[in-house]
């Protein structure tokens, strides 16, 4: 077996001859001395024309991928300059295995570091290879930008999709007057496939245009195949869905409905808290105690006595808690007729309670009743989107925040979508990266 060619192949080198190898066991470092070959394949690094007479030699230091137990491998390459008749001057010889944008790295080193950064932070990968975090960040950005042109989601049509936004960052605005906004929150809209648990595409903002940009990644057949689409109570998302997904039935997410209901209950609780006089009443109306009746089916005798005393002291709070329980019970129905019957009864209870916040919430329910019934039929929620949002928030915290919206969007697609080597073939990048120029 030719061990020299085996080492050259293992390090991803091409058109070179190894002259010496030095191994340092103390710090697990290897230095490979090699020389570039002069043959018919030698060409100019600019115009790719054949080179003529040799001018001089020079030594270049390049980082190579790890080799066995040796984590830090450095290649000392003897390159040559030669006469190029097309450029009319002495030019460097082209080395296909040297990264075109990061000249101090080999293509194999850049690809292995890039694959590690798909799961780890740039700072962590930089510590592993002895590089700066900024150098790894630039490598990660250029690699994702290169791979983005090959991004292609699976051709299989999905019957259900969902969309939700995730917070990117809050920026400070220049105030034109005293009443103008000082801070503005920026969001990223993610189009999610619940069946695959992946982010298909994303766009900056949380408007109708943002979701329309996400739909551009879908083919016409995939758009026609979508039967259910889950989102929160957000009109721009619904209008974009009706425009681009003609066969999809929109489902309002249950979590966001309950969130609106809890906000209405909080308004009632806070209004009654202001009226409370004794310390017992104030303690009973604290936010930490407001879900005792809602969250527990079996209550202890102490909690039953506490709720009975609370009911006697404050009738509106008791009525509001009963309305919350009844609405949860209505959403548990899996057929439309019993759900409609339970909802009509709930409307009557809201009218009898005469609580303004819950009446406003009842108007919202009437407005989106068709979308809520679609949820009863399909039981589709944005739970997968919310789970991916938690993963994205953890990614943002680990990275210390992302100022660039484009980099943050690509990072979401890399970590939670199809912008990685598991879905885009990148084995050829271990040996050669086509120069964008």
> pLDDT, tens digit, for every residue of 273-304?
776 655 555 566 566 555 444 455 566 787 77
Q: Tens of pLDDT along 346-393?
A: 999 999 988 999 999 999 999 999 999 999 999 999 999 999 999 999
Please report the pLDDT score of residue 203 as a whole number: 95
Burial readout 7-40 (b: 16 or more C-beta within 10 A, e: otherwise): bbeebbbbbbebeeeeeeeeeeebbbbbbbeeee
Please, are residues 70 and 28 in contact by the beta-carbon 8 Å criterion?
Answer: yes
Q: What is the tens place of the pLDDT at every residue in 208-230?
A: 999 999 999 999 999 999 999 99
Residue 422 is assigned to a structural domain of this protein: no
> Which has more pLDDT, 302 or 233?
233
Residue 430 DSSP one-character state: G
* CA angle at 359 for the pair 354 and 363, rounded to the nearest 5°: 155
Asked whether 379 and 230 are in contact (CB, 8 A), the reply is: no
The total number of structural domains that make up the chain = 3
Average pLDDT score, the chain: 87
Answer whether residue 285 is part of any domain: yes
Dump pLDDT digits (tens) for 166-181: 999 998 888 778 778 8
Same domain, 346 and 397: no
Give the end of a domain, one of 332, 361, 378: 378
Helix, strand, or coil (residue 59): strand
* 199 shares its domain with 290: no
Query: Chain centroid to CA 32: how far?
Result: 40
What tokens does 426 get?
A: 């990148």
Q: Model confidence over 76-128: pLDDT tens digits?
A: 999 888 888 888 888 888 888 999 888 899 999 999 999 999 999 999 999 98
Backbone φ and ψ of 377, nearest 5°:
-70, -45
Q: What is the rounded average pLDDT of the residues 47-75?
A: 88
pLDDT category at 312 given cuts 50, 70, 90 is: low
Within a domain: 118:
no
Residue 228 in any domain: the answer is yes
SS3 assignment, position 185: strand
> What is residue 437's predicted lDDT score, i.e. its pLDDT?
46
Last residue of a domain, one of 68, 98, 128: 98
Task: Give φ, ψ of 354 to 5 degrees.
Answer: 55, 45
On whether both 71 and 212 belong to a single domain, the answer is: no
147 located within any domain: no
248 and 397 together in one domain: yes
On whether residue 24 sits in a domain, the answer given is yes
Say if residue 145's pLDDT is above 50: yes
Are 372 and 305 members of one domain? yes
Answer with the one of 378, 398, 430 that is the final residue of a domain: 378
Please check the confidence at residue 155 and state whether its pLDDT lies above 50.
yes
Percent of the chain residues topping a pLDDT of 70: 91
Determine which of 24-28, 44-48, 111-115 has the lowest per-residue pLDDT on average.
44-48
* 237 neighbors 168 (Cβ within 8 angstroms): no
Determine the angle formed by the axes of helices 133-148 and 122-129, rounding to 10 degrees: 120
pLDDT of residue 318: 78
pLDDT tens column, 238-249: 999 999 999 999
Percent of the chain predicted with pLDDT > 90: 56
Specify whether the CB–CB gap between 46 and 88 falls below 8 A.
no
Instruction: Tell whether 271 is covered by a domain.
Output: yes
Expressed as residue numbers, the domain containing 94 is 1-98
Asked, for residue 120, whether it belongs to a domain, the answer is no
- Counting other chains too, the contacts that 281-288 makes at CB distance below 8 Å and 24 or more residues apart are 281/313, 281/314, 284/309, 284/310, 284/313, 284/314, 285/314, 285/317
- Comparing 275 with 12, the larger pLDDT belongs to 12
Q: How much is the average pLDDT of 43-50?
A: 84
Alpha helices, DSSP H, located in 296-355? 301-313, 315-331, 336-353
């Amino acid at each position: 077996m030719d061990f020299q060619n085996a080492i050259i192949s293992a390090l991803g080198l091409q058109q070179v001859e190894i002259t010496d190898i030095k191994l340092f066991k103390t710090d697990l470092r290897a230095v490979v001395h090699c020389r570039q070959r002069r043959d018919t394949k030698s060409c100019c690094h600019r115009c790719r024309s054949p080179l003529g007479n040799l001018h001089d030699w020079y030594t270049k230091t390049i980082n190579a991928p790890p080799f066995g137990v040796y984590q830090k491998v450095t290649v000392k390459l003897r390159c040559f300059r030669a006469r190029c008749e097309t450029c009319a001057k002495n030019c460097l010889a082209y080395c296909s295995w040297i990264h075109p944008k990061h000249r101090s790295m080999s293509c194999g080193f850049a690809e292995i570091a890039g694959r590690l950064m798909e799961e780890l932070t740039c700072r962590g990968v930089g510590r592993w290879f002895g590089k700066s975090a900024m150098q790894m960040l630039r490598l990660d950005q250029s690699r994702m930008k290169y791979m983005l042109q090959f991004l292609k989601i699976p051709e299989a049509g999905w019957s259900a999709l969902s969309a939700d936004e995730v917070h990117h960052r809050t920026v400070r605005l220049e105030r034109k007057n005293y009443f103008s906004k000082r801070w503005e929150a920026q969001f990223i809209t993610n189009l999610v496939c619940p069946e695959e648990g992946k982010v298909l595409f994303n766009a900056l903002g949380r408007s109708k245009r943002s979701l329309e940009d996400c739909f551009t990644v879908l083919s016409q057949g995939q758009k026609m195949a979508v039967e259910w689409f889950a989102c929160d109570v957000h009109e721009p998302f619904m209008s974009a869905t009706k425009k681009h997904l003609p066969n999809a039935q929109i489902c309002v997410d249950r979590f966001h409905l309950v969130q609106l209901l809890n906000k209405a209950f909080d308004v009632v609780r806070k209004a009654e808290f202001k009226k409370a006089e004794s310390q017992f009443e104030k303690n009973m109306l604290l936010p930490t105690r407001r879900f005792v009746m809602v969250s527990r089916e079996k209550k202890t005798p102490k909690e039953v006595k506490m709720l009975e005393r609370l009911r006697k002291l404050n009738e509106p709070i008791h009525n509001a808690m009963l309305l919350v329980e009844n609405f949860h019970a209505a959403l548990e129905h899996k057929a439309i007729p019993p759900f409609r019957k339970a909802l009509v009864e709930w409307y009557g209870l809201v009218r009898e309670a005469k609580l303004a916040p819950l009446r406003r919430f009842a108007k919202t329910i009437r407005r989106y009743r068709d979308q809520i019934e679609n949820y009863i039929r399909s039981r589709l929620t944005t739970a997968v989107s919310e789970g991916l949002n938690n993963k994205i928030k953890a990614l943002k915290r680990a990275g210390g925040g992302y100022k660039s919206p484009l980099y943050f969007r690509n990072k979401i697609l890399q970590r939670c979508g199809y912008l990685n080597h598991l879905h885009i073939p990148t084995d050829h990048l271990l040996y050669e990266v086509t120069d964008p120029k």
